[in-house]
Amino acid sequence: MLLTAQTLLTGRELLRPGWIEVSGPTVHALGAGAPPWTADRALNTVVPGFVDTHVHGGGGSDFSAATLADTAAAVDLHRRHGTTTMIASLVSAGPAELLHQVEVLAGQVRDGQIAGIHLEGPWLAVERCGAHDPVLLRDPDPAELDTVLDAGGGTIRMVTLAPERTGGVAAIERIVAAGAVAAVGHTEATYEQTREAIAAGATVGTHLFNAMRPIHHREPGPVVALLEDRRVTVELIADGVHVDAALYRHVTRAAGPDRLSLITDAMAAAGMSDGRYQIGRMDVEVADGVANLARTSTIAGSTATMDRVFRFAVARGGLPRDDALLAAVRQSSVNPARALGLPSPELAVGARADLVALDADLAVADVLHAGAWVPR
């Protein structure tokens, strides 16, 4: 199958026009200029498939339910919006429930439904619990941590924790030794405590600014410590709700081209209408597309999909159009994959044929996953 694009972004370069040949599930060839023969389909803008490394659900379903039907519904919704690689994020749960969720999702990773598991908690700060049930938050017990990591069998890609909790730094070392990524988030950590966490091996900042101690001129806190260390990739929920566009532009400049990952932090209401939902066992009310814990003003994840995040980055990044496109591709595909050790989503010979075709307004027109068109 030969595809042409008025603009083809590979993850490294911008080709205008460009073409890409797909053979089975892989990219066979690609290039700039006129295609070698008549194309099977002419497209407007083509980008690598989006990689969402922090998403709790969508399409009315929550990964915490740990059923094949719920996973399939969430994956289907996000894939139709361009996410071809997804990490299933779990909210805080009790020991037995957490172990069950990991065991079920680990099987789904091995079956190829999802690319890995992200444990967002339960080792978080009560002061910064966000949409996590504070009753379930606890210090990282070495025995529990080992049991959960063993149950994952290598499928747990990332663990978010508050390093200031008792045993937090030792837990980071344990997570990294097990081959997973340790992330700092939902934290009241000081600047120095965050630096200690990074020295122990933490390499991701979970949804920067949200659910963490804010910057103060006499106590910079975790935001500054995470931003200034070149070993750390920082997440941003660029849905137009969680973070102001000015902060997105600031982080883009501060982190550089390779250290910012855009995420959705989507919950079950993504792709759905306003109403009542759950994230874990917490009740959520969605109004005008904004999710809050029931009867509070606390944001409870997002209702975004990665195409919306991508458009926000291009429109609000303050860069010339082509520079904004190149930056958004890295932030929504290349950087998150690299941060979690996933296969590169860059469009290159021999790579899996995952791509998103966008129209002139950057809305999703078609999605190709492993060489097959995703039903719209």
Alpha-helical (H) ranges within 229-363 are 245-255, 306-316, 321-329, 335-339
Token pair listed for 125: 């700060």
Answer yes or no: are the C-beta atoms of 124 and 171 closer than 8 Å.
no
φ, ψ at 374 (rounded to 5°):
-80, 130
- Alpha-carbon distance of 16 to 27, in angstroms, equals 18
Q: At what angle do helices 95-110 and 142-152 cross, to 10 degrees?
A: 20
DSSP reduced 3-state for 229: coil
Q: How many residues does the chain have?
A: 376
In 3-state terms, what secondary structure has residue 142? helix
List the catalytic residue out of 239, 265, 307, 366: 265
Cβ(143)–Cβ(154) below 8 Å: no
Contact between 203 and 157 (Cβ < 8 Å): no
Let me know if 265 is a catalytic residue: yes
Q: Which residues are CB-neighbours of 179 under 8 A, at least 6 positions away?
A: 154
Return the residue matching tokens 């532009």. 249
Asked whether 358 and 47 are in contact (CB, 8 A), the reply is: yes
Both tokens assigned to 110: 């091995």
The rounded distance, in Å, linking the Cα atoms of 352 and 355 is 9
- By annotation, the residues acting in catalysis are 265
